Structure 1
Amino acid sequence: MRDLIVTQNITVDGVIEAGDWFGPADGGPEVLHALREQMARADAFVTGRVTFEQLRGYWPAQTDDPTGISAYLNQVQKYVVSSTLRDPEWQPTTILRGLDEVRRLKETAGGDIVCTGSIDVTHQLIAAGLVDEYRLFVYPSVVATGQRLFPDGSPHALTLRDCTSFPSGVALLTYRRTA
C-alpha cells in the first residue's frame, strides 16, 4: 500500500490558499532541498483539474529551471482528479474520475503519492480518509482570511513525526494520521 502525502504551503494561521504571502524562493535553499528529497521519494503526483491546468501552463515551458521542479513535473506520473478534463495535453498523465480511483492507486506498488495545491481535491481526500501523511511548509505569515487545510467541523488526530526549521523562518512539520 502506498502512502498518500498532502504537501501544502501554509501560513501560521492555517491558510493554504495561494496569495502573496509566499513565493518559490521565499523558503531559501534549505526548503528547496527538502522539496527535492520529497520528489525523490514520490513517483506519483495527484492534483485537481484547476491546479493541473495552472501547472501545465507554466512548468513545461521552464527550460532553464535550476530548482528541478520542472524536470520532476515533466517526468512524474501525474493523476488528475476531474470529471470534465478530456485530454491532459501533458504526459505522462492519467485522468481519474473519482476518489475510488485514488483509493485503487494507493493499492498499487510504488513510491509516495503526493498531492499539492488543489484545495477542493485535498479536502475530498481528507474527508474520505485517504491521506496518510501531511507535510506542511509553515510560512511565518498571518493572512487571517482564505481557505484552510482542515475545513470547520472536521476533527483529525495527528501524530507529529518530524519538525524542521529553516533559516528563512519556514518550518516543515510532518504529521501522520492517527488511526
Structure 2
Amino acid sequence: MRKLIVTEFMSLDGIIDSPGGGDHPHAGWTFKDIEFNEAAYEIKGREQEEAGAMLIGRVSYDEFAPVWPTMEIFAKYNAMPKYVVSTTLTDPTWANTTVLRSLDEVAKLKEGEGGPLLVHGSATLAQNLAAAGLVDRYHLLIFPVLLGSGKRLFADSGTDKTNLKLVEHGTFDNGIRMAIYDVAH
C-alpha cells in the first residue's frame, strides 16, 4: 500500500493559499517577505526523490500545468505519473497525467504498489482526503507570517479529531519551521 502525503507551505495562521503566486492579496508570501534559507527547503528535494506520483486537485493542476513543465527544478515531478482529482477535466495536457473522478479512485490508487502519492497545494482536495481517512502523513513548512484570510489546510471540513505523531522537525534561522507528522490511524 502506498502512503499518501500532504505537503504544504503554510502560514502560522494555517493559510496555504497562493504561496508562490496566484490570486490571494499576498500571493508569493513564501519568498516575498521571508529571507531564503536553502536548508529549509531540503524536504522539498527529498519529497521529489521519494515520491512515486503526484496527486492534485483541478485548481492546482490549472496553476501548475502551464508552469512546472518548463522548470528544471521540477524535472522528476514532470516525469512521474500525475493524478488530478476532477469531475470536469477531460483532456489533461501535462505529460503523464491521469484524471481520477472520485475519492474512491484515489483509495484504489493508494492500495497499489509504488512510492508515496504526494499532494501539493489543493486545499479542498487535502481536506476531503483527510475527511475520508486517506492521509497518512503531513509535511509542513510553516512560515512566520500571519495572512489573516485565504484557503486553510485544516478548515471545517467534517473531519473528526485526528491524532498526529511528530516524526521529524526543524527550525531555521529565517523563522521557517518544518514539521512532519504521521496520522494515527
Structure 1 gaps, min length 5: none
Q: CA deviation at 1:20?
A: 3.6
Q: Does 1:54 align with 2:63?
A: yes
State the AA in 2 paired with 1:95.
V
- 1:54 counterpart SS class: helix
Contact persistence 1:15–1:146 (CA under 8 A): yes
Q: CA deviation at 1:165?
A: 1.5
Contact persistence 2:138–2:181 (CA under 8 A): yes
Runs of 4+ in 1 over 4 A off after TM superposition: 24-27
Q: CA deviation at 1:31?
A: 2.7
Q: Give the RMSD, CA atoms, in angstroms.
A: 1.7
Instruction: Tell me the equivalent position of 1:169.
Output: 175
Per-residue CA distance 1:124-178 (angstroms, 9 max, x = gap): 1011010000011000111122222111363321111111112322111011111
Q: Following the alignment from structure 1 to structure 2, what is the Cα–Cα distance between the partners of residues 145 and 109?
A: 38
Q: Following the alignment from structure 1 to structure 2, what is the Cα–Cα distance between the partners of residues 112 and 81?
A: 16
Q: Following the alignment from structure 1 to structure 2, what is the Cα–Cα distance between the partners of residues 135 and 79?
A: 19
Q: How does 1:77-156 map to 2 (within 5 A)?
A: 77-152=81-156, 154=159, 155-156=161-162
Task: Give me the TM-score of the superposition, normalised by structure 2.
Answer: 0.87
Residue 33 of structure 1, aligned match among 36, 42, 45: 42
Range with greater deviation from structure 2 (11-20 or 123-132): 11-20
Range with greater deviation from structure 2 (165-174 or 107-116): 165-174
Residue identity over aligned pairs, in percent, reads 37
Contact persistence 1:160–1:175 (CA under 8 A): yes
How many residue pairs match? The answer is: 174
Q: Following the alignment from structure 1 to structure 2, what is the Cα–Cα distance between the partners of residues 73 and 111?
A: 13
Structure 2 gaps, min length 5: 19-26
